[in-house]
Structure 1
Amino acid sequence: MINRLINELMHYALCEHLVDEDDKVFVTNSLLALFNQVEFHEEEIKEERVLADILKDMCDFALKEGIIEDDSVTVTDLFDTKIMGLLTPMPSTVRRVFKEIYSVDSKLATDYFYKLSKRSNYIRVDRIARDEKWVTDTAYGPIDITINLSKPEKDPRDIAKAGAAKKSGYPSCLLCMENEGYAGTFSHPARQNLRVIPIALDGEDYFLQYSPCVLQ
Structure 2
Amino acid sequence: MKHRNDHDHAAAVSRAIDALLDYAAQYLDLEPADRDYTCNMLLDLLGFNQYRIVPTTGTGTTEVRTADTGGMPDDLMAQTLQAVRDAGLCAGLDNAALADAIMNTLSARPSRIQRIFENLCQERGAATAMRWLYAYGLHNGYIHGRQLARNPRFEEDGLVITINTAKPEFKTMAAAAAGTSVQSGYPECTICHANEGFGGRDKRTLRIIPVTLGGEPWFWQFSPYGYFREHGICVNTRHTPMHVDRATFGRLCDFTDRFPSYFLGCNAALPRIGGSVLAHDHYQGGGEPMPMHRASAVRSRPAAQAPEVMVDIIDWPGTVIRLRSRSREALVEVADRIRVAWEHYDNAAYGIASHNGRGERQSAVSPTVVKTGAGGRGGEVREPAYELSLILRNNAVSREHPEGVFHAHEEFWPIKHEPIGLIEAQGLFVLPGRLTRQLAGVRRALCEGAALPEELREFTMIYDETQVRLGVAHGSHIPCDARAVDKALRGELASICRRILRNTAVFPNTHATQAFLAEAGV
Q: What TM-score do the two structures reach when normalised by structure 1?
A: 0.81
* CA gap 1:207/1:180 in 2 versus in 1, 3 angstroms: same
2:153 to 133, 136, 142: 133
Query: 1:83-112 CA distances to partner (integer Å, 9 max, x unpaired)?
Result: 000011011101111111111211111111
The aligned runs of 1:42-191 (5 Å cut-off) are 42-44=54-56, 46=60, 48=65, 49-50=68-69, 51-64=73-86, 65-69=88-92, 75-104=94-123, 105-137=125-157, 142-151=158-167, 167-184=183-200, 189-191=201-203
Amino acid at match of 2:133: F
The structure in which a higher percent of residues are strand is 2
Quick one: distance in 1 between partners of 2:97 and 2:167?
A: 15
Per-residue deviation, 1:203: 1.3
When residues 86 and 152 of structure 1 are mapped into structure 2, their CA distance, relative to the original with a 3 A threshold, is farther
Q: What amino acid is the match of 2:192?
A: C
Any conservation in 1 of the 2:28–2:107 contact (CA below 8 Å)? no
CA–CA separation in structure 2 for the residues paired with 1:17 and 1:34: 19
Shift of 1:42: 4.2
What secondary structure does 1:168 align onto? coil
Query: How far is the alpha carbon of 1:76 from its aligned partner?
Result: 1.6
Given residue 13 of structure 1, which amino acid in structure 2 is its aligned partner? A
CA contact (8 A) 2:46 2:89 kept: no
The match for 1:156 is none
Correspondence for 1:2 among 13, 36, 40: 13
1-structure distance, mates of 2:199, 2:55: 30
Equivalent of residue 43 in structure 2, options 25, 32, 40: 32
Whole-angstrom CA distance in 2 between matches of 1:119 and 1:183:
19
State the distance in 2 between where 1:127 and 1:176 align: 25
User: CA–CA distance in 2 between the matches of 1:24 and 1:96?
Assistant: 20
Q: Which runs of 5+ in 1 are unaligned?
A: 154-165
1:144 counterpart SS class:
strand
Give the AA of the match of 2:127. K
Deviation at 1:66, TM superposition (A): 4.6
8 Å CA contact 1:18, 1:119 repeated in 2:
no
Counterpart residue number, 2:30: 19
Does the residue aligned with 1:200 lie in a helix, a strand or coil? strand
1:103 aligned partner, one-letter code: Q
Give me the whole-angstrom Cα distance separating, in 1, the residues matched to 2:55 and 2:25.
Answer: 14
Whether the aligned pair in 2 keeps the contact of 1:62 and 1:68 (CA below 8 Å) is: no
What secondary structure is seen at the aligned counterpart in 2 of 1:209? strand
Tell me the alpha carbon deviations over residues 157-209 of structure 1, each in whole angstroms, 9 at most, x when there is no partner: xxxxxxxxx9411111121110111112xxxx211111110111001111111
Match of residue 177 from structure 2: none
Question: What is the CA–CA distance in structure 2 between the aligned matches of 1:53 and 1:86, rounded to whole Å?
Answer: 18
Corresponding letter in the other structure for 1:131: N
C-alpha deviation, 1:68, in angstroms: 2.9
Q: 2:217: which partner in 1?
A: 205
How far apart, CA to CA, are the structure 2 residues paired with 1:176 and 1:111?
A: 23
Question: Is the radius of gyration larger for structure 1 or structure 2?
Answer: 2
Q: Aligned residue for 2:428?
A: none
Contact 1:127 1:151 in 2 (8 A): no
Aligned residue identity for 2:75:
D
Q: How many Å separate the matches in 1 of 2:212 and 2:76?
A: 38
Q: Distance in 2 between matches of 1:3 and 1:211?
A: 33
- Indicate the larger mover: 98-107 or 35-44: 35-44
Q: Give the Cα–Cα distance (whole angstroms) in 1 for the partners of residues 217 and 40 of structure 2.
A: 37
SS of residue in 2 equivalent to 1:208: strand
Conservation of the 8 A alpha-carbon contact between 1:59 and 1:76: yes
Distance in 1 between the 2:144 and 2:129 partners?
A: 21
Kindly tell me: are residues 88 and 11 of structure 1, through their superposed partners in 2, closer, same or farther at Cα, counting changes over 3 Å? same
State how many pairs are aligned. Answer: 192
Cα gap change, 1:30/1:202 in structure 2, threshold over 3 Å: closer, same or farther?
Answer: same
The 3-state SS of whatever aligns with 1:145 is: strand
Runs of 4+ in structure 1 over 3 Å off: 61-64, 150-153
Q: Helix, strand or coil for the counterpart of 1:79? A: helix
Could you say which residue in structure 2 is the equivalent of 1:192?
A: 204
